[in-house]
Structure 1
């Protein structure tokens, strides 16, 4: 059973967004932005919907402790109380106590600190503010005593209220008076007075007293000193008391509230108020996974946000400034940051929809924020096929399934055998269990599912393997070394096809090595040539050098698509890595790194990548055009066992101490330093390069500046074979993907010719109109590169087509201005 399923927009267009309704008035959006790269989840909530309300939950129903967001959501998901979406909440201490205030179901579980909170009132109004605590106990309508706090240590002269979330008892000593009360109403609210009845009183100052049990439907009021005296003189068993616990300046009745920091958006402007809330600047400017909440100007739309991070190449995280700008695009008028990093989690209808950054997966947290639907479960109203759009290899199969929902988007259990499946005849056939068999010819059509009159459909494209790319390319090995060759197979839509290694036919040209049916290559003799992989009519190849002395340029920075920025104690919004033609060692471009380092500890600006380096290089080097500011340049790579190693391109002192000139910085890999996480590691090949980074440990040297990088190079062993780049003639015709892509305004197009032949290379818009001819001549066999400039063209998708004898190939490229 061979199939694959992808979203076409993820392949054809750099940025993409997918949206699905998941509850009454609730839409889940998933967005990918390539320029980060960033992967974001947004839950858009219509607070005006009658079935929707916002709640919080605390871990294990206790002030102390941690629990996963998904577990909290599952525990609170019941009939007429469905947790449509959940995000992690406040920052917390090592033992799991939330840093800020929390209100759950109208009950104040913890008092505030001088940082922002997000709240939700009984009138369905969202709130963001910095609040304080006020409380009072009133006896007989006139006699009042101040309540100093909730669920914390009782200090001298204080009256403290303890409820069930503190624990089973108050954990106080006997130097005080405690009255136990029960609530006289089914529910209470912060900022509203509520009545309680005294059910017990403990005023004995001797061992065995104090530390009273806390009732589930009430609380204990514990007083010391003058507060104890007040309780002794004025409060008795059976009395009815009035209590109010308030969080000014908010005056609305609060049913839910959770802490965070800092406020990021105030009145439609990105303010990122880290300084006002005692947060370090680097916390705001560094990129991390993030969780946030915000609402619209009219307070009717609420948004939960998560952005994944610390996953180079997948999602690098955002600074608070970047996240605030993104939230503004959604119409957020007031917004606040919640706990992020490894805590960042979003749950939708019971499933985790983001990618938590901790190696162990989802992190247990102190509390969570919920979107709850109170709609009842109804009859089947909606069918949803598992995938909206599917690509299936011709002659292969794909198993469809469908989910059922009621009118409120509550998931229902449906009998798959009760469903009726059908499809357009041109694309194949589908059986009663939803198993689809694709036709042999490329085509597109629909698969349908019915349950009575309820129906859904999915677009199906029958496709074939169109291209195969092998890597590493080139492959450089010593005699006796071996490597499993990796590949990327795509169809004409640009979608990746999932094939097993032995689905391809592998071969080598030349007497330099052997390759197995699983793509496992062993170098046997010095020489050079190609490894070739075929699947049906598609073919791919990689050049192989065995025992050849060479300096392999891993990256000439003609594109920076391999790299992304992250860091600690840096001004990420002021940092950038772009292609630039101001200076270069290999014409015409280099990589320009603009940096801004901030104080508060060691500053590190990472250029993250994942470059597999084949074989056994002796050394790694890079050209650096310095700015004379003496910052430390380092690198990190992982070996074949996944163990980490560091290299120093410069020493910590004097660092990059030259300016306005190039220096080649070479590091012998025998001098690599084991990472602190694996001090006993032994280097094994091949290696994968993960970072080049700028570091500064001296506070007075933290500044901003610009350096340039060019020709990141691996050096390989010396042999008797003379290196000659012209010896290798391509075995097959190939048209490579342009680079960079997306581009503005120029890009490079490469193609291989195994024979001398007339070549025409043309550019078309999506309407089929030719906009440029960049090659129209007879060309010799070999590898060719041409540069295309689109100064006069508008942003959009363009097609480039090569005609070389009987070889014809078209690819897409994206121009963004």
Structure 2
């Protein structure tokens, strides 16, 4: 055999092809295992054929390159016929992305554009639109939110076509459309329409819009039950003989003709022609009951027989060229397709969630889409609207406080494949890091050959695992062996199998939150412990797997980590497993000041912004100018014009208990920008505080200034204007803002010693007279049995304090009398009330303040 006759192989292409065609639907750990085995198979062949050293080095270099590809590659699962969902985490904490890749040519698939509530002016969640359109042989495989919309009415901004029926026309708004053969397009269209009766033709002016002088408008059921027109016209109800389609001729029967009345009822799948003046005269003179007429509604330029269409605001990729707008980062929803239109993609990028995902600019998303082969791409509504649903479940992380937002419309991917017998099973979780003796619960789901969900017969799953990694019960509970090997857990139903990879590792550290814990006697705090191995992988453990303890006799803690403060003093809360422990400082019932961040470690911070030049912004160590050694944090900013600018310095910090104040040291640059902060309370509602006023802002130059703010002055965010602050809280970000375009510039400020201040309020301080009416947060809160309510009165007043339930019904009056100037406390006993949320109200004259109180029994 002749040596050195090695086949000419494009190894990079081999990697790409292997990834695209073999690994789709396989998690990336298994992908890498398969690739590694394949690689060494090729390497052995090279050895056998006597490959020279240069080729061996090249091959090994490609292996290292491929390793990096797989390390950052997205996990993928098959979710339908010709449909794969990818979950991609890039630079952990920067971007969290979900992608749906669709084979347009698969005969089981089709798209649907859906309007919220099937009404032009309505709101509905994407998951709800998916659920009500999900039925046998019409299974919703995936759904994303659609167009931008009027936040008051729910009317979408752009044109929409749903199952061939035209809802609305907007000529200057981009859209994505599909014809009856699923061919996609993105572009702008102009509307034209006409009615044909024999040799007579009349132009149609619009769809579902207000009728003006001499106009002929066509209305359908998306406008509502009737046309809402006045009596100055003629209206004709028509019944289609063909399915509604845009850019096609639709035959219709004239059902009813009424002149001089208006507001004609429409009916499902019917339409009304409504004409005023000359158009009304045309209807009267040319249409008669039971006539057959023709309706032509066109969007030009476009496909013939247009079936689905949904709007978006801007190109992200046009003819392979990426949008170069590299401005603000936000959550994004987008769609696109490749150059030959054979593959269609749905994208949702999470954002506004530091530690999970910060969002993308138009350019960043366009660049990312192009890596998937997108040749034409459109941006849809984003921000809090961004939602992706897969088989009925939301798979992304919507950024609004309350989760998924109600929107105007959505785009659904439908599978018409019938439900068949069990053909696949899928185990969750797919990858496990565990320590010896720990337990992990696994589940298995069933699917037919088209990946429609089907049930698995009870008791039919046979669980097993590689003996070296431990054991698994027939209920799917895995118990890890005391070793450091890897292996697989298997689930089988007959010949149908799936596996999950297990890495047995060693516990390295335990982290607890919140850190520190500061409470008053009677208050409680649920602790959360997270275990990590030497490679910073999270080990799957239950809170009950840890051994919890408290030092100093300060209180009690349950096996699940729920601590209740009893005695005053200082100590620690400790969680331990196998001689590895984690602890946090504990303070009960004493005044305390804690440093939340001294800015000696900036690794957890991310920067996002609105109307800022983010490329020129940074947060860096400053070892030359600090208060607490060794460094401060220096924030470089660059604010741009065009509206309010805000540069966000994001990091989550858990703060236990009920702090009275927050403080920070700021080294100013004198450029008079506004410094603010944001946090979430226990109800996940957002609150804002001002470290400075908007004007003059940071007006001191080259000196440190101590700033202290009272948390009772925090105001609810616009996203939850009626929110009532309820402790404990979680700090989310500090930010620099500027509303005045004439003050936009570049600069830098430094931050030091961010602190929380806890003050015992059990005794009235007679030496300080209050200057304002104020109702303080009760303590403890939540409480069991009784809680203290404190309030201040700056002048002689009649005071009423009442308790209400969530329905607004008065439960009890605690105070109803005149009070002189001073600060007062009372104890409310709720022994006879059930657990739940209540409200307490201070009213004196025109002043009213309400706070939330939680009773837990």
TM-score (norm. length: structure 2):
0.72
Deviation sequence 1:733-770 (CA, Å, 0-9, x none): xxxxxxxxxxxxxxxxxxxxxxxxxxxxxxxxxxxxxx
**Which position in structure 2 is the counterpart of 1:309?**
351
**Which position in structure 1 is the counterpart of 2:82?**
25
**Which position in structure 2 is the counterpart of 1:735?**
none
Distance 1:675 1:616, change over 3 A: closer
CA distance in 2, matches of 1:171, 1:643: 40
**Which position in structure 1 is the counterpart of 2:202?**
145
Matched, 1:131 2:189: yes
**Which position in structure 2 is the counterpart of 1:237?**
289
Distance 1:467 1:221, change over 3 A: same
CA distance in 2, matches of 1:79, 1:521: 51
Checking the alignment, whether the CA contact within 8 Å between 1:559 and 1:579 is kept in structure 2 is no
Q: 1:270 aligns with which of 322, 332, 336?
A: 322
**Which position in structure 2 is the counterpart of 1:115?**
173
Distance 1:368 1:524, change over 3 A: closer
**Which position in structure 1 is the counterpart of 2:705?**
665
RMSD after superposition: 3.9
Deviation sequence 1:281-300 (CA, Å, 0-9, x none): xxx94443322212222222
Matched, 1:500 2:500: no
CA distance in 2, matches of 1:682, 1:353: 30
CA distance in 1, matches of 2:638, 2:593: 33
Deviation sequence 1:257-296 (CA, Å, 0-9, x none): 01121333322233378xxxxxxxxxx9444332221222
Q: 2:272 aligns with which of 209, 217, 220?
A: 220
Distance 1:618 1:75, change over 3 A: closer
Q: 2:442 aligns with which of 370, 392, 400?
A: 400
Distance 1:410 1:219, change over 3 A: same
**Which position in structure 2 is the counterpart of 1:357?**
399
Checking the alignment, whether the CA contact within 8 Å between 1:674 and 1:680 is kept in structure 2 is no
**Which position in structure 2 is the counterpart of 1:195?**
251
**Which position in structure 1 is the counterpart of 2:128?**
71
Q: What SS does the corresponding residue of 1:133 show, helix, strand or coil?
A: strand
**Which position in structure 1 is the counterpart of 2:837?**
none
Q: CA deviation at 1:246?
A: 1.0
CA distance in 1, matches of 2:700, 2:409: 51
Matched, 1:578 2:604: no
CA distance in 2, matches of 1:62, 1:683: 37
**Which position in structure 2 is the counterpart of 1:173?**
230
Checking the alignment, whether the CA contact within 8 Å between 1:81 and 1:375 is kept in structure 2 is yes
Q: 2:648 aligns with which of 592, 601, 606?
A: 606
CA distance in 2, matches of 1:681, 1:138: 57
Distance 1:643 1:200, change over 3 A: closer
Matched, 1:367 2:367: no
Q: 2:142 aligns with which of 60, 63, 85?
A: 85
Distance 1:395 1:544, change over 3 A: closer
CA distance in 1, matches of 2:72, 2:197: 63
Checking the alignment, whether the CA contact within 8 Å between 1:182 and 1:215 is kept in structure 2 is no
Q: What SS does the corresponding residue of 1:19 show, helix, strand or coil?
A: strand
CA distance in 2, matches of 1:152, 1:100: 13
Q: CA deviation at 1:20?
A: 0.7
Q: CA deviation at 1:158?
A: 0.6
Q: Comparing both chains, which one has the higher relative contact order based on Cα–Cα distances under 8 Å and sequence gaps of 6 or more?
A: 1
Distance 1:623 1:22, change over 3 A: same
Q: What SS does the corresponding residue of 1:417 show, helix, strand or coil?
A: coil
Q: What SS does the corresponding residue of 2:209 show, helix, strand or coil?
A: coil
Checking the alignment, whether the CA contact within 8 Å between 2:667 and 2:705 is kept in structure 1 is no
Checking the alignment, whether the CA contact within 8 Å between 2:665 and 2:707 is kept in structure 1 is no
Checking the alignment, whether the CA contact within 8 Å between 1:465 and 1:497 is kept in structure 2 is no
Checking the alignment, whether the CA contact within 8 Å between 1:179 and 1:222 is kept in structure 2 is yes
CA distance in 2, matches of 1:629, 1:450: 67
CA distance in 1, matches of 2:127, 2:75: 22
Distance 1:435 1:396, change over 3 A: same
Q: What SS does the corresponding residue of 2:203 show, helix, strand or coil?
A: strand
CA distance in 2, matches of 1:351, 1:682: 31
Q: CA deviation at 1:402?
A: 1.9
Q: What SS does the corresponding residue of 1:165 show, helix, strand or coil?
A: helix
Q: 2:714 aligns with which of 666, 674, 679?
A: 674
Deviation sequence 1:674-728 (CA, Å, 0-9, x none): 314699999998764333211223232123333343454567999xxxxxxxxxx
Distance 1:554 1:14, change over 3 A: farther
CA distance in 2, matches of 1:447, 1:144: 71
Of the structure 1 ranges 55-64 and 422-431, higher mean CA displacement relative to structure 2 is found in: 422-431
Gaps of 5+ in 2: 1-26, 31-67, 761-857
Q: What SS does the corresponding residue of 2:696 show, helix, strand or coil?
A: coil
Q: CA deviation at 1:369?
A: 0.3
Matched, 1:261 2:338: no
Checking the alignment, whether the CA contact within 8 Å between 2:239 and 2:254 is kept in structure 1 is yes
Q: CA deviation at 1:497?
A: 4.1
Checking the alignment, whether the CA contact within 8 Å between 1:574 and 1:594 is kept in structure 2 is no
Matched, 1:246 2:304: no
Checking the alignment, whether the CA contact within 8 Å between 1:294 and 1:333 is kept in structure 2 is yes
Checking the alignment, whether the CA contact within 8 Å between 1:479 and 1:547 is kept in structure 2 is yes
Q: What SS does the corresponding residue of 1:416 show, helix, strand or coil?
A: coil
Q: What SS does the corresponding residue of 2:131 show, helix, strand or coil?
A: helix
Q: CA deviation at 1:71?
A: 1.9
Q: CA deviation at 1:103?
A: 0.5
Checking the alignment, whether the CA contact within 8 Å between 1:106 and 1:190 is kept in structure 2 is yes
Deviation sequence 1:71-111 (CA, Å, 0-9, x none): 22122222322211111112223232222111011111211
CA distance in 2, matches of 1:116, 1:363: 23
Q: 1:60 aligns with which of 117, 125, 142?
A: 117
Q: CA deviation at 1:619?
A: 6.6
CA distance in 1, matches of 2:735, 2:225: 51
Q: 2:163 aligns with which of 96, 105, 108?
A: 105
**Which position in structure 1 is the counterpart of 2:95?**
38
Distance 1:536 1:357, change over 3 A: same
CA distance in 2, matches of 1:480, 1:51: 61
| Within-5 A mapping of 1:531-550 | 532-542=574-584
Checking the alignment, whether the CA contact within 8 Å between 2:28 and 2:73 is kept in structure 1 is no
Q: What SS does the corresponding residue of 2:406 show, helix, strand or coil?
A: coil
Q: CA deviation at 1:313?
A: 3.0
CA distance in 2, matches of 1:495, 1:671: 34
Checking the alignment, whether the CA contact within 8 Å between 1:7 and 1:390 is kept in structure 2 is no
CA distance in 1, matches of 2:520, 2:452: 60
Q: What SS does the corresponding residue of 2:300 show, helix, strand or coil?
A: coil
Checking the alignment, whether the CA contact within 8 Å between 2:173 and 2:188 is kept in structure 1 is yes
CA distance in 2, matches of 1:20, 1:314: 21
CA distance in 2, matches of 1:434, 1:345: 32
**Which position in structure 2 is the counterpart of 1:788?**
none
